[in-house]
Chain A
């Protein structure tokens, strides 16, 4: 059984979803790459921010 950590699972999810979003939502390869990276940063960034928020709420 493949058992990644929570953060590894987030990274995997973000990579695959960002790839599809980048290719399908933009027209030129350069804009696809930029949008894919943007989505990846938003996925991972929002997870980090929300994790800290939950950590501070739980304290």
Chain B
């Protein structure tokens, strides 16, 4: 007896419009992708977590990478850019420009980089919800 293979459920956008909007909005402003999809609670928790992590990083005198002289700095710069407008505002305000001299400042730098990476994960999650891959 021939069996039909289990096909994955059809992935259909749940609403019309630009499908990448939650991804881009979520990258620019933490939690905004989920807010656009009316996931208020998830968006608020994500925004609080990412913004607080970024702010704590700056409060610990963490560094915002502006340029990359080697591969590690390039990776850190990419992580920082994941924070979207938080990075732009921080750079515009002249924050995170002092060289890292304390251990706490090094932790702060990692906080800022990881906040950016977590923001990318959150933005991709918003995109998955938008495309119907996740509920």
A9 an interface residue at 8 Å Cβ cutoff?
A: yes
A2 contact from B46, B50, B56, B115, Cβ within 8 A: B56
Interface string of B42-73 (1 = CB under 8 A from A): 10011011101100100111000000000000
Contact B114 A3 (CB under 8 A): no
Cβ-closest chain B residue relative to A28: B135
Which of chain A's residues have a CB closer than 8 A to the CB of B134?
27
B50 contact from A4, A9, A20, Cβ within 8 A: A20
B37 an interface residue at 8 Å Cβ cutoff?
A: no
A1 an interface residue at 8 Å Cβ cutoff?
A: yes
Q: How far, in whole Å, are A21 and B48 apart by their CA atoms in the complex? A: 14
Cβ-closest chain B residue relative to A5: B104
Cβ-closest chain B residue relative to A1: B61
Which of chain A's residues have a CB closer than 8 A to the CB of B56?
2, 12
- In angstroms, how far is the closest chain B Cβ from the Cβ of A51? 15
Interface string of B93-123 (1 = CB under 8 A from A): 0000000000010010001001100100110
Contact A2 B60 (CB under 8 A): yes
- In angstroms, how far is the closest chain B Cβ from the Cβ of A10? 9
B80 an interface residue at 8 Å Cβ cutoff?
A: no
